[in-house]
Amino acid sequence: FFIGYDTKVQAQVHVTHPEVTPPRLEIRNLVRLFEGKAVVDDVSLSIQPGHVTCLLGPSGCGKSTTLRMIAGVDIQNSGQIYVDGNLICDTVFRVPPERRSIGLMFQDFALFPHLTVGENVAFGLSGPKEKKHKRVSELLERVGLFHFIGDYPHSLSGGEQQRVALARALAPRPRVMLMDEPFSGLDDRLRDGIRDETLALLKEEGTSVLLVTHEPEEAMRMADEIALMRDGRIVQRGAPYNIYKSPADKEAVAFFSDIN
Instruction: Please give the residue ranges that form the binding site for Mg ion (CB under 5 A).
Output: 64
Is the four-CA dihedral 136, 139, 142, 144 of positive or negative sign?
negative
- Smaller CB separation from ligand ADP, 142 or 214: 214
Q: Which residues contact 245 (CB under 8 A, 6 or more apart)?
A: none
Using rule CB under 6 A, residue 60 touches ligand ADP? yes
Among 30, 38, 53, 62, binds ligand ADP (CB under 6 A): 62
- Closest among 72, 90, 79, 76 to 6, alpha carbons compared: 72
Using rule CB under 6 A, residue 175 touches ligand ADP? no
3-class SS shares of the chain: helix, strand, coil, % to 5: 35, 25, 40
Using rule CB under 6 A, residue 34 touches ligand ADP? yes
Query: Which whole-number Å values give the CA distances from 154 to 89, 112, 150, in the listed order?
Result: 37, 10, 12
Bridge partner list, 73: none
Using rule CB under 6 A, residue 61 touches ligand ADP? yes
61 binds, among ligand ADP, Mg ion, none (CB under 5 to 8 A by kind): ligand ADP
Using rule CB under 6 A, residue 54 touches ligand ADP? no
Least separation in angstroms between CB 132 and Mg ion: 33
> Dihedral of the CA atoms 48, 168, 12, 44 (nearest 10)?
-40
Specify the pairing of strand 225-230 against strand 52-56: parallel
| Interface region with ligand ADP, contact rule CB under 6 A, candidates 61-69, 81-89, 142-150, 219-227 | 61-69
| Interface region with ligand ADP, contact rule CB under 6 A, candidates 62-70, 135-143, 187-195, 236-244 | 62-70
Summarize as ranges the residues that interact with ligand ADP (CB under 6 A): 34, 39, 57, 59-65
